[in-house]
């Protein structure tokens, strides 16, 4: 069933279109930066963007910073919201259950497919970010083999690779939290659109509350609270505190919501 879900994911034109769109925006941004040489002032605009003009090798991180707040969650939420509700709305869910495929197995296979999509998207954005960063913005010419951290200290390529991989995993996990919300909603409704938009609604709500001082008491447990903590991976030394908390918060959200999705789906009548 897992192999079948992956085949379905890869055979679906939408998968590739959304990955392409995700890669397109950072590339367009890189072209503008390279042509004009005008970057946002440090501390303003999307994360990292100020730093990349002097160092194209940091552009994968900047590219993810560009798509992270909106585009990546949208893409992940659409795929996750589609998982059960999409099968229900095409009517294929009844044939899967009657085939018979166990309901837990369906859910696990869907989760694997969503995870693969998330990693595919994150890696694709980071990859095109690297290519466009190095070709358009140029590697750091002062030291061809080293690059600098946000803290200004040098970073060799091996360190940079390790940190980039950690970043991809951290963002992947954050997106899994998004996916869990939409997958849970996807087991409640037969409309994939409602599930995807519901997931985004939760994110917008979370973002509003994180920015609200009056919500101090809960905000450290909100799903978007530590989303940008991956920037700390590019400090020297790595600032682990927020990253660790972020992993914990995402793990809790993901675990609880997937548990709820399983409990709901495995006891629900399939009437679509």
Q: Residues interacting with another protein, by CB under 8 A?
A: 1, 3-4, 7-8, 11-13, 90-92, 94-102, 267, 269-271
Shortest distance (Å) from residue 14 CB to another protein: 9
Structure tokens at 253: 């959200």
Shortest distance (Å) from residue 82 CB to another protein: 12
Nearer to another protein, 101 or 139 (CB): 101
Shortest distance (Å) from residue 91 CB to another protein: 3
Q: Are 183 and 261 contacting, i.e. CB atoms less than 8 angstroms apart?
A: yes
| CA dihedral for 139, 143, 146, 151, sign (positive or negative) | negative
Q: Are 225 and 216 contacting, i.e. CB atoms less than 8 angstroms apart?
A: no
Shortest distance (Å) from residue 5 CB to another protein: 8
**What residues contact residue 248 under an 8 Å CB cut-off, 6+ apart?**
none
Shortest distance (Å) from residue 114 CB to another protein: 17
Shortest distance (Å) from residue 10 CB to another protein: 12
- Other Cβ atoms within 10 Å of 35 Cβ, number: 9
Which residue in 254, 249, 114 sits closest to 181, CA to CA?
254
Nearer to another protein, 92 or 159 (CB): 92
Shortest distance (Å) from residue 118 CB to another protein: 22
Nearer to another protein, 94 or 241 (CB): 94
Spatial separation of the C-alpha atoms in residues 234 and 46, rounded to whole Å: 15
Q: Are 52 and 133 contacting, i.e. CB atoms less than 8 angstroms apart?
A: yes
| CA dihedral for 134, 26, 80, 241, sign (positive or negative) | positive
**What residues contact residue 8 under an 8 Å CB cut-off, 6+ apart?**
113
**What residues contact residue 91 under an 8 Å CB cut-off, 6+ apart?**
272
């Amino acid at each position: 069933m897992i192999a079948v879900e992956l085949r379905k994911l890869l055979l679906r034109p939408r998968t590739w279109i959304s990955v392409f769109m995700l890669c397109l925006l950072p590339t367009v941004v890189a072209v503008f930066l390279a042509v004009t040489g005008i970057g946002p002032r440090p501390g303003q605009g999307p994360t990292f963007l100020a730093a990349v003009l002097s160092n194209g090798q940091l552009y994968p991180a900047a590219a993810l910073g560009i798509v992270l707040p909106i585009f990546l969650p949208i893409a992940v939420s659409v795929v996750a919201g589609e998982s059960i509700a999409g099968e229900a709305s095409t009517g294929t869910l009844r044939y899967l259950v009657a085939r018979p495929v166990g309901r837990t197995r369906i859910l696990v296979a869907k989760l694997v497919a969503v995870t693969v999509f998330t990693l595919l998207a994150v890696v694709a954005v980071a990859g095109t970010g690297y290519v466009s960063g190095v070709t358009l913005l140029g590697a750091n010419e002062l030291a061809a083999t080293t690059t600098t951290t946000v803290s200004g200290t040098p970073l060799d390529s091996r360190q940079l690779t390790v940190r980039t991989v950690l970043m991809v995993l951290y963002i992947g996990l954050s997106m899994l939290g998004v996916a869990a919300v939409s997958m849970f909603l996807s087991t409640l409704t037969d409309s994939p659109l409602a599930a995807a938009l519901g997931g985004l609604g939760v994110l917008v709500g979370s973002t509003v509350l994180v920015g609200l001082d009056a919500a101090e008491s809960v905000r450290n447990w909100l799903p978007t609270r530590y989303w940008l903590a991956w920037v700390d991976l590019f400090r020297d030394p790595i600032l682990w505190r927020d990253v660790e908390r972020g992993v914990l918060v995402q793990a809790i959200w993901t675990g609880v919501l997937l548990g709820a999705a399983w409990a709901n789906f495995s006891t629900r009548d399939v009437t679509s």
